[in-house]
């Protein structure tokens, strides 16, 4: 799943009030997975041309940036979400950092942070957004119950126009009285004009929204309103168990797999969701797939088979899942949730359940829970996608579900409670499905409960909260400390809980806007005020989010730091909070952020027809869960404009100050009490010259640090001058006279200055300074563009004396953030004003810089100006180099604290002969680096002929070529020795060696295990180690075994697959799909050795090598068997040959993925990469044009030809098993390893994760 670009030091005030319209995804950097976790969140089909220069790989230790546990989850963000203009203050130079690859049974954790479930689409999301909804509205929430209690007997369409009162409201440009303004602001917000709601006679509710993206596909989600909060004491985890058994036991779901449909399921506190992403029709016969999809959901939700064999399979899978997800990050999340909600059931009802109970349940026990909660009146069906015939869709829903009644239900249910599903967020729920008073009485034994007449769940969640409100009398809780040996850095969270404020009127929206402006100022101040010096913190985040799943709004101040700096970090954070609260934002800040929000909102309104169905669906579920009015993007923008006119500086500061009172007024008599203060700290810390020493910290020391920071003298914020442009027109004219930029022939052989391919719309140019240009005009995203600079070289150019120089150098440039005479603050605000998102990164082969920009108000020229300044006037700062070095040093030292990272690190070093270019730089290597050495390592690669720029977006030919000539054509031409000549040899470790199989042991309080199996593969273009061209081998093999290619009757174009440059890219991608399917079927489903296993390829473009990796999680007792089983599947393709059915399914998966991705600008950036690169000579436009044909033409024999070059024999294969536990590595009698030394609460251990992963 996805992840998103993230600031180098995340000082993000990620305020996330409720969003009112879905955002558009920013896939360019957001879709990249982080390499930190060495595994994919969910395995995405590998497309042979889809890997950009920045593509992360499943087993690559190249560090993007050291993330705190919570900021790493923030980076998960929204699947393909993107950075907002306001969040760019911190991410202008930030390298993209993805999620750590974990999905949850908390709905779609790819769309929000895990753990504490602050799953709220940010009002101004981290990754881009050009959206009112995604910016001003986004509450990080999870879908829950629908607000509308009963719904009409017949479906209806919300009014597409504003109400008369809103149309007749006075012109706000004229002075009006306070009373008149209040009346206007109390006007209800308009509702989504296309959203259809209805209810069947049996109580099942449905929502339908026509949506065009992706074309010819739709989303069908069945949400059953039951989750872990409904479980009794002896049922902890049973809702999740039913999810597994019902979903994977469905035969009708399995039949859909051959159609190109994708499906999954998840469980959280309050609901279970089964979802299917399907084509609208079958490819072969054009049959409508909606009836089949609905039929499958009906079987899964209401008619599952609880066979003993399926229950046992899923029991094993869940127990494996439980251990797999029990990382230290999840355990930290558990602690935070337990302290935050210590007064209610949310603190001890985690969806994954308890191991000892999961091991005991029989099918009858599971079936009884299903009978109690799974019935139509307790469920909602969502359909979003290309649904042209709405009445027909409704008839299909009625035909499939109308006769579905629960076993104990004899009559149709009434229309439901007049108060709706959200009647009470804070009252408990009795097992029979009807509300009860807060009696405090214990429920009867669950097995004896006989459900009566079924009505929709009317109360949720069944919890009570203690609010952090001024004047509320309650005892202050001392800071809690969670200390663990696997925690590397210091972090502290201060929580505030208040009731959710529904956003239903213009007044509500206005409050959201004012909070967002206020908190954006804090975000920027902390990031920029301390970035130019060496700050005592690693990150400071302020998150203000609604949580439908927790029934509250939570404000969280999170501070992370190196342990030795914890006091100073706390002081800085609370000092800045108090300063903002006391003095407020300046007029310049308010104007700046207001303008950025309006620009962002306008941009999203223009992209109203480009929002993917899944994002629209999630948005509706989230909004209904919280009771917010659902608007589309255009309505959201118009509403924002309406309220923006009424906002004043005084009100912004008044509303914003209320959010911060629990911090700024800490310790004062009438101040709101924090809901919890939780510090998560290591047991041992590294001290230079001493080594590992005990880390001691006490609650009263934390309290003292907070009070000391608040007592510091404060001063108001000065106004900052923000440049309107980085290059003036006069400077540009001078540059053009000096360099005389022009387009030149693409090759010396042909006098062609422009190549345009009519089929793909790709244009290719070359500048007189040697820079190659590729661009494509699309309407995928209205008036939005993306740009990527790719510089050949990357970490491969590091030699034995400069290990880490490139990656540290790129980070240094990112940390500094200055260009020319402009400070970091000025550059960041320039990006905010122009809606530019920028990231700078490196990998083994390339350095690359990515931009996303809006084209309004010369936004594209602004992005090109910034790129020009980076290339021509970059600034290298000593303190930025120090910060970059310290980040990598801390990251390296944290490797032994992570089972997955230490296992992968050891495997990579063994496989690649201790080549440090493919892992994190060691402390010894870092000590050798200087500012000059890292600068030289990076800038020596920035030469004209070694740079390629690709641009994709909704611009004109004149616009893009003018920018290219003006700002890239005026970059100085420079030359450098061929970087390839300076690349030291890369080789796999020869056999025999005792490092082909290794084990890693980590001391931990809980048992866990994982393993990686890897081996050599060719690169994407058919080159193997030592520069061997495998196409020569293929030609010889083809002469011997190939059958002649015969045209079929369809008249489709046929090509010689085996001589095509993409032969290995295509065939290995298809192989990966097939191997993954077999791994799941064999290792997980049949043998029950794992919950999660995946096969992934890392195919380089420039380097003459690649590798594959199998990642498997298991238990210490089963991990060796799991490794053997994975090897058996990998090597078993000869004894159990691939059949046509497998190949067809793999083709459909990849072809549909390719088709869907071509609707995104980010994907096209990946396709354009290296079109003119001399280091990737085999790539040309035909590789893009013929990709679909290559997939369709590939045969089983083609796959076996490629398979011969995956080295899977014992002499080539490398494996490393990682085991964590109390007995691992060394004996220990410390039974209280999870208990801190000062009487703090112990860690809960297994089964207390706040989320579980999707079923598949």
Catalytic option among 191, 235, 314, 900:
314
Q: How far is CA 76 from CA 34, 79, 98, 103, 295, in A?
A: 9, 7, 6, 9, 33
In a domain, 352, yes or no: no
- pLDDT beyond 80 at 460: no
Output the CA torsion sign for 587, 589, 590, 594: positive
| Beta bridge partners of residue 851, listed in sequence order | 787, 838
Binning pLDDT at 50, 70 and 90, where does residue 157 land? very low
Residues 1052 and 1157 in one domain: yes
| Cis peptide upstream of residue 461 (ω within 30 degrees of 0) | yes
Structure tokens at 439: 């009696």
Return the higher-pLDDT residue of 455 and 1185.
Answer: 1185
Q: DSSP alpha helices (H): ranges in 98-210? A: 132, 164-167, 178-185
Q: What is the DSSP letter of 516?
A: H
Residues 945 and 1010 in one domain: no
Residue 516: φ, ψ to 5°: -65, -40
In a domain, 734, yes or no: yes
**In what side-by-side order are the strands of the sheet with 676-682?**
15-16, 539-547, 552-561, 490-498, 676-682, 480-484
- pLDDT beyond 90 at 1170: yes
Coil, helix or strand at residue 799 = coil
Q: How far apart are CA 332 and CA 347, in angstroms?
A: 13
Per-residue pLDDT tens over the stretch 382-419: 999 999 999 999 999 999 999 887 444 544 443 333 33
Contact 934, 809 (CB under 8 A): yes
> Residue 939 maps to which CATH number?
3.30.830.10
Question: What domain count does the chain have?
Answer: 2
**Residue 696 designated active-site:** no
Count CB-CB contacts under 10 A for residue 91. Answer: 30
Residues 965 and 1053 in one domain: no
Residues 1027 and 934 in one domain: no
In a domain, 415, yes or no: no
535-549, 557-571, 781-795, 1215-1229: least confidently modelled range: 1215-1229
Per-residue pLDDT tens over the stretch 854-866: 998 999 999 999 9
Return the higher-pLDDT residue of 106 and 957.
Answer: 957
Q: How far apart are CA 131 and CA 1094, in angstroms?
A: 35
Q: Tell me which H or E stretch contains 491.
A: strand 490-498
Query: Region 189-194: what's the mean pLDDT?
Result: 97
Block residue for tokens 């169905």: 613
Residues 1144 and 1115 in one domain: yes
The full length of the chain comes to 1256
Residue 944: the pLDDT is: 86
Block residue for tokens 């993230």: 6
**In what side-by-side order are the strands of the sheet with 755-757?**
755-757, 762-766, 772-777, 947-953, 784-792, 846-854, 837-842
Residue 457: the pLDDT is: 54
Residues 951 and 819 in one domain: yes
Q: How far is CA 330 from CA 140, 144, 468, 1155, in A?
A: 18, 23, 26, 36
State how far Cα 385 lies from the chain centre.
22
Query: Region 831-856: what's the mean pLDDT?
Result: 96
Residues 1090 and 1124 in one domain: yes
Binning pLDDT at 50, 70 and 90, where does residue 168 land? very low
Residue closest to 36 by CA, chosen among 73, 70, 64, 3: 64
Residues 845 and 885 in one domain: yes
Return the higher-pLDDT residue of 280 and 138.
Answer: 280
State how far Cα 763 lies from the chain centre.
32
Query: Region 549-578: what's the mean pLDDT?
Result: 95
Q: What is the DSSP letter of 563?
A: G
Q: How far apart are CA 623 and CA 145, in angstroms?
A: 10
Return the higher-pLDDT residue of 951 and 1153.
Answer: 951
Residue 455: the pLDDT is: 61
> What percent of the residues of the chain are helix, what percent strand, and what percent coil, each to the nearest 5?
40, 15, 45
Block residue for tokens 């149709």: 412
What string of H, E and C letters represents the secondary structure of 965-1024? HHHHCCCCCCCCCCHHHHCCCCCCCCCCCCCCEEEEEEECCCCEEEEEEEEEECCCCCEC
45-49, 239-243, 726-730, 1077-1081: least confidently modelled range: 45-49
Catalytic option among 235, 243, 576, 900:
243
Residue 977: the pLDDT is: 52
Residue closest to 304 by CA, chosen among 389, 357, 241, 350: 241
Structure tokens at 171: 């012109």
Residues 965 and 1025 in one domain: no
> What string of DSSP letters covers 67-127?
--HHHHHHHH-STT--B-TTTHHHHSSPPEE---S---SSTTGGGS-STTT--B--SS-BB
Count CB-CB contacts under 10 A for residue 689. Answer: 4
- pLDDT beyond 70 at 76: no
What string of H, E and C letters represents the secondary structure of 576-589? HHHHHHHHCCCHHH
- pLDDT beyond 60 at 1061: yes
In a domain, 748, yes or no: yes
Count CB-CB contacts under 10 A for residue 154. Answer: 8
| Cis peptide upstream of residue 992 (ω within 30 degrees of 0) | yes
Residue closest to 25 by CA, chosen among 835, 612, 599: 612
Q: How far apart are CA 1039 and CA 369, in angstroms?
A: 62
Structure tokens at 1191: 């997939």
Average pLDDT, the chain: 81
Measured N-to-C along each axis, helices 649-664 and 587-606 cross at an angle, to the nearest 10 degrees, of 100
Q: Tell me which H or E stretch contains 493.
A: strand 490-498
Residue that finishes a domain, picked among 982, 1017, 1047: 982
- pLDDT beyond 50 at 1229: no
Output the CA torsion sign for 1152, 1155, 1161, 1165: positive
Residue 1196: the pLDDT is: 97
Contact 320, 1087 (CB under 8 A): no
Contact 783, 840 (CB under 8 A): no
In a domain, 823, yes or no: yes
In a domain, 761, yes or no: yes
Residues 1154 and 1006 in one domain: yes
Coil, helix or strand at residue 739 = helix
Strands (E), 691-740: 691-694
Q: How far apart are CA 872 and CA 880, in angstroms?
A: 19
Coil, helix or strand at residue 785 = strand
- pLDDT beyond 90 at 200: yes
Q: How far is CA 557 from CA 526, 647, 935, in A?
A: 12, 26, 36
In a domain, 676, yes or no: no
CA angle 1166–1171–1174, rounded 5-degree value: 125
> What string of DSSP letters covers 834-858?
TT-EEEEEE-SSEEEEEEEEE-GGG
Residue that finishes a domain, picked among 958, 982, 1006: 982
Binning pLDDT at 50, 70 and 90, where does residue 976 land? low
**Residue 243 designated active-site:** yes
Range of the domain at 927: 729-982
Residues 943 and 973 in one domain: yes
Q: How far apart are CA 906 and CA 908, in angstroms?
A: 6
Binning pLDDT at 50, 70 and 90, where does residue 1053 land? low
Contact 661, 672 (CB under 8 A): yes
Residue that finishes a domain, picked among 920, 949, 982: 982
Contact 222, 207 (CB under 8 A): no
- pLDDT beyond 70 at 787: yes
Residues 854 and 949 in one domain: yes
Report the relative pairing of strands 156-157 and 196-199 from DSSP bridges: antiparallel
Query: Region 885-900: what's the mean pLDDT?
Result: 94
């Amino acid at each position: 799943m996805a992840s998103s670009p993230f600031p180098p030091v995340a000082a993000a005030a990620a305020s996330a009030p409720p969003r009112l319209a879905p955002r558009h995804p920013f896939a360019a950097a957001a879709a990249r997975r982080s390499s930190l976790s060495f595994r994919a969140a969910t395995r995405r089909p590998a497309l042979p041309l889809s890997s950009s220069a920045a593509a992360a790989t499943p087993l690559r230790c190249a560090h993007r940036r050291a993330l705190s546990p919570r900021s790493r989850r923030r980076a998960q963000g929204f699947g393909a979400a993107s950075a907002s203009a306001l969040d760019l203050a911190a991410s202008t130079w930030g390298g993209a950092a993805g999620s750590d690859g974990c999905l949850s049974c908390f709905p779609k954790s790819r769309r929000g942070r895990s753990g504490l479930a602050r799953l709220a689409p940010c009002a101004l999301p981290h990754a881009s957004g050009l959206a009112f909804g995604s910016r001003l509205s986004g509450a990080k929430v999870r879908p829950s119950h629908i607000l509308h209690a009963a719904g009409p007997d017949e479906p209806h369409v919300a009014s597409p126009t504003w109400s008369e009162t809103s149309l007749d409201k006075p012109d706000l440009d004229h002075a009006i009285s306070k009373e008149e303004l209040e009346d206007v602001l109390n006007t209800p917000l308009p509702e989504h004009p296309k959203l259809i709601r209805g209810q069947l006679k049996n109580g099942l509710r449905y929502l339908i929204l026509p949506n065009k993206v992706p074309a010819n596909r739709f989303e069908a989600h069945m949400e059953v309103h039951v989750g872990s909060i409904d479980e009794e004491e002896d049922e902890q985890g049973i809702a999740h168990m039913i999810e597994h058994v019902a979903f994977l036991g469905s035969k009708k779901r399995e039949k859909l797999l051959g159609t190109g449909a994708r499906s999954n399921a998840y469980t959280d506190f309050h609901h279970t969701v089964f979802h299917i992403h399907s084509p609208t029709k079958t490819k072969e016969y054009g049959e409508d797939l909606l009836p089949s999809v609905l039929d499958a959901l009906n079987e899964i939700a209401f008619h599952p088979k609880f066979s003993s064999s399926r229950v046992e399979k899923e029991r094993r899978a869940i127990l494996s899942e439980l251990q797999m997800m029990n990382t230290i990050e999840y355990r930290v999340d558990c602690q935070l949730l337990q302290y935050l909600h210590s007064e209610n059931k949310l603190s001890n009802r985690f969806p994954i359940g308890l191991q000892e109970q999961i091991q005991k349940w029989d099918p009858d026990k599971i079936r009884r829970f299903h009978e109690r909660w799974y019935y139509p009146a307790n469920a909602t069906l969502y359909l979003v996608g290309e649904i042209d015939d709405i009445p027909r869709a409704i008839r299909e829903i009625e035909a499939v579900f109308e006769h579905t009644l629960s076993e104990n239900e004899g009559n149709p249910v009434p229309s439901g409670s007049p108060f709706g599903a959200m009647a009470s967020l804070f009252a408990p729920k009795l097992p029979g499905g009807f509300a009860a008073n807060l009696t405090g009485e214990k429920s009867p034994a669950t097995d004896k409960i006989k459900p009566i007449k079924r009505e929709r769940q009317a109360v949720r969640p069944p919890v009570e909260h203690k609010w952090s409100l001024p004047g509320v009398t309650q005892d202050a809780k001392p800071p809690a400390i969670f200390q663990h040996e696997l925690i590397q850095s210091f972090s502290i969270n201060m929580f505030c809980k208040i009731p959710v404020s529904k956003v239903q009127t213009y007044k509500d929206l206005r409050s959201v806007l004012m909070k967002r402006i206020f908190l954006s100022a804090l975000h920027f101040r902390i990031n920029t005020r301390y970035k130019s010096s060496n700050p005592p913190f690693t990150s400071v985040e302020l998150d203000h989010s609604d949580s439908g799943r927790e029934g509250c709004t939570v404000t969280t101040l999170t501070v992370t730091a190196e342990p030795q700096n914890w006091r100073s970090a706390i002081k800085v954070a609370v000092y800045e909070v108090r300063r903002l609260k006391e003095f407020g934002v300046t007029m310049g800040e308010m104007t700046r952020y207001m303008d950025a929000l309006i620009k962002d909102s306008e941009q999203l309104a223009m992209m109203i027809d480009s929002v993917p169905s899944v994002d629209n669906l999630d948005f509706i579920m989230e909004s209904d869960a919280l009771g917010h009015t659902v608007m589309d993007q255009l309505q959201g923008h118009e509403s924002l404009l309406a309220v923006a006119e009424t906002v004043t500086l005084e009100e912004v500061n008044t509303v914003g100050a209320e959010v911060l009172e629990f911090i700024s007024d800490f310790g004062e008599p009438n101040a709101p009490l924090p809901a919890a203060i939780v510090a998560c700290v290591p047991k041992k810390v590294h001290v230079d010259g001493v080594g590992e020493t005990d880390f001691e910290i006490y609650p009263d020391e934390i309290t003292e640090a907070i009070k000391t920071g608040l007592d510091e003298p404060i001063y108001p914020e000065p106004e900052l001058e923000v440049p309107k442009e980085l290059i003036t027109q006069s400077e540009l004219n001078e540059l053009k006279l000096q360099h005389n930029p022009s387009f030149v022939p693409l090759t010396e052989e042909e006098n062609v200055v422009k190549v345009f391919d009519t089929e793909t719309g790709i244009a290719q140019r070359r500048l007189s300074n040697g820079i190659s240009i590729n661009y494509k005009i699309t309407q995928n995203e209205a008036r939005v563009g993306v740009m990527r600079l790719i510089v050949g070289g990357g970490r491969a150019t590091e030699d034995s004396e400069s290990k880490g120089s490139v990656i540290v150098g790129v980070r240094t440039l990112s940390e500094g953030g200055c260009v020319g005479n402009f400070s970091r603050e000025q550059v960041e605000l320039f990006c905010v004003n122009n809606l530019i998102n920028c990231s700078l990164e490196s990998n083994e082969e390339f350095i690359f810089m990515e931009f996303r920009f809006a084209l309004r108000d010369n936004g594209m020229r602004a992005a090109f100006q910034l790129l020009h300044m980076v290339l021509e006037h970059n600034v290298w700062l000593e303190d930025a180099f120090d910060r970059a070095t310290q980040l990598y040093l801390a990251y390296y030292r944290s490797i032994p604290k992570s089972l997955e990272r230490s296992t992968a690190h050891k495997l990579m070093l063994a496989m690649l002969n201790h080549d440090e270019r493919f892992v994190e730089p060691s402390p010894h290597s870092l000590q050798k680096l200087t500012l000059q050495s890292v600068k030289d390592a990076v800038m020596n690669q920035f030469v004209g002929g070694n740079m390629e720029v690709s641009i994709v977006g909704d611009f004109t030919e004149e616009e893009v070529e003018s920018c290219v000539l003006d700002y890239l054509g005026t970059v100085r031409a420079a030359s450098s020795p061929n970087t390839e000549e300076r690349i030291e040899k890369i080789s796999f470790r020869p056999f025999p060696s005792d490092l082909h199989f290794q084990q890693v042991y980590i001391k931990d309080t809980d048992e866990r295990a994982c393993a990686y199996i890897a081996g050599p593969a060719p690169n994407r273009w058919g080159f193997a180690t030592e520069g061997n061209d495998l196409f020569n081998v293929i030609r010889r093999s083809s002469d011997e075994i190939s059958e002649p290619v015969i045209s079929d009757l369809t008249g489709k174009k046929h090509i010689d697959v085996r001589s095509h440059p993409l032969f290995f890219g295509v065939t290995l991608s298809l192989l990966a799909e097939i191997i993954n399917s077999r791994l799941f079927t064999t290792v997980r489903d049949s043998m029950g050795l794992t919950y999660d296993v995946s096969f992934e390829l890392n195919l380089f473009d420039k380097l003459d090598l690649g590798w594959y990796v199998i990642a498997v999680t298991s238990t210490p007792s089963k991990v060796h068997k799991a490794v053997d089983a994975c090897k058996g599947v990998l090597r078993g393709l000869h004894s159990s040959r691939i059949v046509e059915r497998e190949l067809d399914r793999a083709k459909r998966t990849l072809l549909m993925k390719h088709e869907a991705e071509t609707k995104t600008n980010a994907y096209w950036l990946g396709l354009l990469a290296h079109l003119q690169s001399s280091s990737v000579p085999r790539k040309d436009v035909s590789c893009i044009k013929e990709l679909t044909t290559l997939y369709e033409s590939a045969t089983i024999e083609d796959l076996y030809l490629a398979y011969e070059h995956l080295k899977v024999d014992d002499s080539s294969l490398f494996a490393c098993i990682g085991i964590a536990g109390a007995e691992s590595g060394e004996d220990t009698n410390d039974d209280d390893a999870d208990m801190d030394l000062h009487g703090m609460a112990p860690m809960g251990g297994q089964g207390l994760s706040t989320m579980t992963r999707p079923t598949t």
